[in-house]
Amino acid sequence: MEKCLKTRKKKAETAKQKLFSLSYMDFSRKTVSSGDFIYFPIKDFDKSKISKLGTISSKKLPKKIRKPRTISEILSKKLSKTELTELKTSFDIFGDIILVEIPENLIKKEKLIGNSFLKLYPNIRAVFKKTGKVSGIERVRPAKRIAGTGTSEVNYKESGCIFKFDISKVFFTPRLSTEREKIFAKVKPGEIVLDMFAGVGPFSVIIAKKQPLVEKVYAIDINNTAISYLRENARINKVSDKVEAFVGDSKTTISKKFKGIADRVIMNLPKTSLNFLPTALNALKPKGGVLHYYTFKATKQEVKA
């Protein structure tokens, strides 16, 4: 039997607020409703402070079953402490799939890990593991399914737009969503934007959607599959009239078609962006424009230099 405050339903809301404010609620037990009464589980209370709200009584109140909230919690009884530390619990969610990194020595337990993710996130259809680094000119990372069903093609939502793509055939990271928000907020009506390394179009499509008065967004990528998805994403998000996509090397494409035309150039290829700087500057209008230049540096000082 648990200690509880028995109160009439009419008074229940007031009683609940009071119990919360005094921190008397026992969160390990469930509140029970029976007839005209509500029974609130209580602990560490001072009777005199709540006696006006009802009667203190004893009743069997069921235990609250707390669902695990993290992957470490769900696996705490199945993996050792060392294994849990090794398991990098940072992962990315792309629509209805999860992409996770499985350390070398946990490969034998990858099914268990994948299935635990499925239990934790009921809306997730499949779990994929990274099977290599982001590499090559197309910046693609291979992945393999370890739990669930279906392919690695996803529908991912960001800033009110939907993006379809295959995580193992094109580059995409949800971690740039805040950066993309910053950029689309800067684009002004009438601008011509050039997205030099456009991928499946997160910058291009979101800009066209969020700034419908943009004159044009030209998107270039060397990965044919990425550009196919980009065109489809422009269609899905109803911005095909604003976004024009080109497969090819940015240097060649810009020197042939886009010299001196852009008000804004986006250079999202941090690893080698410096090689493309002269090309990007050539793409800007002669009166000038804005260049969004991305690079990898160890410190803020290095970026400034």
Q: Is 163 in the site for ligand SAM (CB under 6 A)?
A: no
Going from the C-alpha of 94 to that of each of 153, 172, 297, the distances in angstroms are 9, 9, 27
Of the residues 203, 218, 229, 258, which one makes contact with ligand SAM according to CB under 6 A: 203
Q: Is 222 in the site for ligand SAM (CB under 6 A)?
A: yes
As a residue count, the chain comes to 305
Of the residues 156, 197, 218, 229, which one makes contact with ligand SAM according to CB under 6 A: 197
Segment 268-297, which members bind ligand SAM (CB under 6 A)? 268-269
Q: Is 243 in the site for ligand SAM (CB under 6 A)?
A: no
Min dist CB 134 to ligand SAM, Å, is 8
What is the helix (H) or strand (E) element at residue 252, kind and residue range? Answer: helix 250-257
Which residue's CB atom is positioned nearest to ligand SAM? 199
> What is d(CA 286, CA 211) in angstroms, rounded to the nearest whole number?
24
Going from the C-alpha of 207 to that of each of 166, 175, 181, 230, 242, the distances in angstroms are 22, 17, 9, 13, 10
> What is d(CA 207, CA 170) in angstroms, rounded to the nearest whole number?
20
Q: Is 198 in the site for ligand SAM (CB under 6 A)?
A: yes
Handedness of CA 78, 79, 80, 81 (dihedral sign): negative
Q: Is 194 in the site for ligand SAM (CB under 6 A)?
A: no
Q: Is 226 in the site for ligand SAM (CB under 6 A)?
A: yes
Amino acid at 145: R
Q: Is 31 in the site for ligand SAM (CB under 6 A)?
A: no
Residues that bind ligand SAM (CB under 6 A): 137-139, 171-172, 176, 197-199, 202-203, 220-223, 226, 249-250, 268-269
